[in-house]
Structure 1
Amino acid sequence: MSYLTRRLVTFPLVMVGVSILVFVSIRMVPGDSITAMLGTEAGLLTPQQRQALAEYFGIDRGWLAQYWHWLTGVLQGDMGLSVTYGKPVLDVILERFPLTLQLALMSMVVALAVGLPAGVYAATRNERPSDLIVRIVAMIGQSTPSFVLGLLIIYVLSAGFGILPTMGEYVPIWVDPLANLGQLIFPSLTLGFAFAAAVTRISRSAMLDVLGDDYVRTARSKGVPARKVIWRHALPNALIPVVTLCGVEFGYLLGGAVLVEQIYALPGLGRMVLEAILQRDYAMVQGAVLFIAFNFMIVNLLVDLAYVALDPRIRMEER
């Protein structure tokens, strides 16, 4: 059985494990969804009204019965009804996912556009002052929490330039590209800065290893221009750890950058999950986490396939 086939076979098992874990975890949080939804007005409900609401949202039965009912619904494409939003969970997830996906892609573009050249530059100037400066900046980037950087950006823009990042109702890119860019550019820079710092450090380390290999020294001894040696011969072989990092980070970004979405008032997956947890919206939390876990596994699979494209010596059957 090939590596790809084994991975596809394990997908359902991982999904079931994730579903059980999140199902039990969310129900261990104190409180119930009806009280969280209605607040103080929940005390005005009669026992019959509370029972009717519990039956409507499917939380009147035991855990095992609830889980089985929910799982069979998921297999049919029905993740349940959201207490918070009053509509099907899958519909809400699909409404929020495009924003999170775009934010993750833009953050990755920022990270690679900044981090990869910086890492290569630092590696080619190893132990020089410029290398030290790049490493210090990268260390600061990785040490700075994203919410601190986000608040700092907002403060600098408002205090220094008298402007604020565009907030309010989210505008999809297909409706107004410029308005959409105005809403997502600063959140993307906030997430991309820490991501770029990690890419810088990983790419620098990988390039230092590759630049000492025999084929690089041979290419230099033959008079191949330094730029060609670095970008055509050395860099492709140094990309595998960078691809690994990008896959992991991108999976986390698809899970929703909760703090950044909260700071910039973006209605993405992360903010949605946070609101669902606070409201004890069992169906929404279960469906969202399952959706995020599935995306994470797909991203990791694509990363493994990228290994083969970058280095044909790697064969999936041998892994």
Structure 2
Amino acid sequence: MIRYALTRLALLLLGLLVASALIFAALRVLPGDVAQLIAGINASPEQIQAIRENLGLDQPLIAQYGSWLAGILSGDLGTSQLTGTPVIDELVEKSEVTLPLGVLAMTIALVIALPFGVLSALRRGRPDGTALNVTAQTIAAVPVVWAGMMLVVLFAVWWGWLPAQGFPRAGWNDPVAAVRALLLPAITIGVVEGAMLMRFVRSATLQAVGQDYVRTAAAQGFTRTRALLRHGLPNVGLSIITVLGLQVAGIIVGAVVIEQLFGLPGIGRMLVDDVSNRDLPKVQGELLVLTGLVLVIGFVVDLVHRVLDPRLREAE
């Protein structure tokens, strides 16, 4: 197990290295010049060149990449070229919005997907089971932006229950206002992602119902529901965990769009603004952190599989 974990950790680090190189190279093809943005439209070529030299933009690309990589290894993601603020400080500040949003959205998705997915499978062929399945397929096909706008109309405009945009200036010092600000965007992401996950839970449950060990348990006197819950679902739990990891990646992508729609000062909104301003060090740091988060989730899922499935350990 330790050898497997070390191997996966080495692959994780290699993946981060490759991701850093791809991010750095991809951002260099963006149009525009950050030195021009800082200097202003009336700046002389000499002023612009002086800014480029001060920021190190006149150095060869390989030297710029090496400097950035060395900073990452020492825990420094760089400094914003526009504001002079350390990137890590701004990421920590914005994560106070993005991380709670993601956790709340995933919680809503699980609350929807697990019970209704199992119920939809157990009631297969009956009107209520069919209605649940059709509803899940319909919601899963809805773009998250459109779902967000519809929920804003319902909960903010018509009923006035929740705020439509923004985050309190006091932040988490006013927890009630902060939760209210995150609730509607979290519902938007959670409902759509939950519908997608519910379809998979239903499929996995139907697969478990047809297994011999579930039929054997039923033949021994268990009800079908009890046989499924005791013997079926634990055996399909590993595949559900894998999909959960993918769902987290979907929530991260959804947060970029949702934070724009709801005016939340999180990492997603900051990323869009920094791309527009061509603040390369900040964009590099933000993309690397998001990519690293996805890779770490995959790493954790692999380890959980190895711990929970004895067949994988025996195959070593």
Tell me the TM-score normalised to structure 1 length.
0.91
User: Does the C-alpha gap of structure 1 residues 35 and 151 become closer, same or farther in structure 2, counting only changes over 3 Å?
Assistant: farther
User: Does the C-alpha gap of structure 1 residues 25 and 158 become closer, same or farther in structure 2, counting only changes over 3 Å?
Assistant: same
SS of the aligned residue for 1:126 comes to coil
Q: Shift in Å at residue 121 of structure 1?
A: 0.6
Q: Shift in Å at residue 312 of structure 1?
A: 3.2
% identical aligned pairs:
35
User: Does the C-alpha gap of structure 1 residues 134 and 316 become closer, same or farther in structure 2, counting only changes over 3 Å?
Assistant: farther
Contact 2:167 2:178 in 1 (8 A): no
Q: Shift in Å at residue 92 of structure 1?
A: 0.9
- Equivalent of 1:286, from 278, 284, 287? 284
Is the aligned partner of 1:11 residue 2:9?
Answer: no
Residue segments in structure 1 that go unaligned for 5+ positions in a row? none
- 1:248 maps to a residue whose letter is L
Distance 1:300 1:291 in 2: 14
Is the aligned partner of 1:24 residue 2:25?
Answer: yes
- After TM superposition, the structure 1 = structure 2 runs for residues 118-137 of structure 1, keeping only pairs within 5 Å, are 118-137=116-135
SS of the aligned residue for 1:86 comes to coil
Contact 2:189 2:254 in 1 (8 A): no
Distance 2:233 2:191 in 1: 22
Q: Which residue of 2 aligns with 1:108?
A: 106
SS of the aligned residue for 2:232 comes to helix
User: Does the C-alpha gap of structure 1 residues 106 and 75 become closer, same or farther in structure 2, counting only changes over 3 Å?
Assistant: same
SS of the aligned residue for 2:41 comes to helix
Q: Shift in Å at residue 202 of structure 1?
A: 0.5
Q: Which residue of 2 aligns with 1:72?
A: 70
Moved more, 213-222 or 233-242: 233-242
Distance 1:256 1:272 in 2: 14
- Equivalent of 1:220, from 218, 221, 225? 218
- Equivalent of 2:91, from 79, 90, 93? 93
SS of the aligned residue for 1:313 comes to helix
Contact 2:162 2:184 in 1 (8 A): no
User: Does the C-alpha gap of structure 1 residues 11 and 238 become closer, same or farther in structure 2, counting only changes over 3 Å?
Assistant: closer
Is the aligned partner of 1:61 residue 2:59?
Answer: yes
Distance 2:226 2:137 in 1: 29
Contact 1:203 1:241 in 2 (8 A): no
- 2:4 maps to a residue whose letter is Y
Q: Shift in Å at residue 48 of structure 1?
A: 3.0
Distance 1:70 1:298 in 2: 21
Contact 1:111 1:196 in 2 (8 A): yes
Cα-to-partner distance string for 1:1-25 (whole Å, 9 max, x where unaligned): 8322111112222112111111111
SS of the aligned residue for 1:94 comes to helix
Contact 2:95 2:266 in 1 (8 A): yes
Distance 1:166 1:172 in 2: 18
Tell me the TM-score normalised to structure 2 length.
0.92
- 1:20 maps to a residue whose letter is A
Cα-to-partner distance string for 1:285-311 (whole Å, 9 max, x where unaligned): 111111112111111111122224543
Q: Shift in Å at residue 118 of structure 1?
A: 0.9
User: Does the C-alpha gap of structure 1 residues 256 and 156 become closer, same or farther in structure 2, counting only changes over 3 Å?
Assistant: closer
User: Does the C-alpha gap of structure 1 residues 89 and 258 become closer, same or farther in structure 2, counting only changes over 3 Å?
Assistant: same
User: Does the C-alpha gap of structure 1 residues 217 and 141 become closer, same or farther in structure 2, counting only changes over 3 Å?
Assistant: same
The alignment of Structure 1 onto Structure 2 pairs a total of residues equal to 315
SS of the aligned residue for 1:2 comes to helix
Contact 2:162 2:180 in 1 (8 A): no
User: Does the C-alpha gap of structure 1 residues 70 and 106 become closer, same or farther in structure 2, counting only changes over 3 Å?
Assistant: same
- 2:115 maps to a residue whose letter is P
Q: Shift in Å at residue 227 of structure 1?
A: 3.8
Q: Shift in Å at residue 205 of structure 1?
A: 0.6
Give RMSD over aligned pairs: 2.1
- 2:293 maps to a residue whose letter is N
User: Does the C-alpha gap of structure 1 residues 59 and 252 become closer, same or farther in structure 2, counting only changes over 3 Å?
Assistant: farther
Distance 1:120 1:256 in 2: 25
- After TM superposition, the structure 1 = structure 2 runs for residues 1-319 of structure 1, keeping only pairs within 5 Å, are 2-37=3-38, 42-162=40-160, 165=163, 167-170=165-168, 174-254=172-252, 257-315=255-313, 318=316
Q: Shift in Å at residue 134 of structure 1?
A: 1.3
Distance 1:314 1:176 in 2: 47
User: Does the C-alpha gap of structure 1 residues 208 and 183 become closer, same or farther in structure 2, counting only changes over 3 Å?
Assistant: same
Cα-to-partner distance string for 1:65-113 (whole Å, 9 max, x where unaligned): 2111111121122222112443011111111123211111111111110
Residue segments in structure 2 that go unaligned for 5+ positions in a row? none
Q: Shift in Å at residue 176 of structure 1?
A: 2.5
- 2:299 maps to a residue whose letter is L
